[in-house]
A and B are shown apart, each in its own frame.
Chain A
């Protein structure tokens, strides 16, 4: 795939299975979104999607195993943001996650991260194994 997006910033890093490391990357992402003048509403959604995906990778994918790491690729352009996160876990089937918005699941405390990512991002793709998520947000607000 050609890189026609004119990324203003990109960062590829492999981090340990430690949520503090994830927070550091997200903080950097938020700074870059601000520099690229993304609006607060879209920034909120990108922040939430990045947070959920990194936490999923560390906690559910790698089970916080200190010997496993998470690959994080984040890119920011004026009109597009790309976040690609890969863990070393066995993967999961995102379609098998029960729909948390069904009446019978409303009071189940977990299982909302995947749907929030889908709700806030423009494109969300998982690899076949289910240990890697690539998500894109296209700017829709001026």
Chain B
């Protein structure tokens, strides 16, 4: 069952580190599954400190952005913290065009993000 998951989740220094297995996040069914896994992390597993590691992600569509926004909202509603790291320049440009870089807490890399959770 866990092999079917879209996200690889691990725990590091009390932070739930989430990696995307997919390089391209654009298919509708795939995005729904990712949304469900995000929801389970926050609402079922009650994760409060979540780091999304984008190192594998080469492409994402606007509906994937929608899921990131919903996750950000859910985490904030539960007084948690969501950070993102390892974002390629092309994806950063999408965040900049949409001004989501103002909404999301974006760090350069994993150590940087973990440090920010500590601080």
Residues of chain A touching chain B, judged by Cβ–Cβ distance below 8 Å, are 19, 23, 40-41, 44, 47-48, 51-52, 55, 59, 100-101, 106-110, 112-113, 115-116, 119
Contacts and interface: CB of A to CB of B under 8 A. Distances in A.
A106 B61 contact: no
A48 B98 CA distance: 13
A106 B69 CA distance: 9
A19 B119 CA distance: 44
A124 B65 CA distance: 22
27 contacts: A19-B27, A19-B28, A23-B27, A40-B90, A51-B26, A52-B61, A55-B28, A55-B61, A100-B98, A101-B98, A101-B99, A107-B103, A108-B69, A109-B65, A109-B67, A109-B70, A110-B63, A110-B66, A112-B62, A112-B65, A113-B61, A115-B97, A115-B98, A116-B62, A116-B94, A116-B97, A116-B98
Q: Is the interface of B mostly helix, strand, loop or mixed?
A: helix
Contacts of A100: 98-99
B118 interface: no
Interface of B: 26-28, 59, 61-63, 65-67, 69-70, 72-73, 90, 94, 97-100, 102-103
Contacts of A109: 65-67, 69-70
Given A19-B28, A44-B90, A106-B102, A113 B62 contact: yes
A27 to B, nearest CB: 11
A71 to B, nearest CB: 21
B113 to A, nearest CB: 21
A85 B27 CA distance: 19
A80 to B, nearest CB: 21
A107 B66 CA distance: 9
Contacts of A47: 59
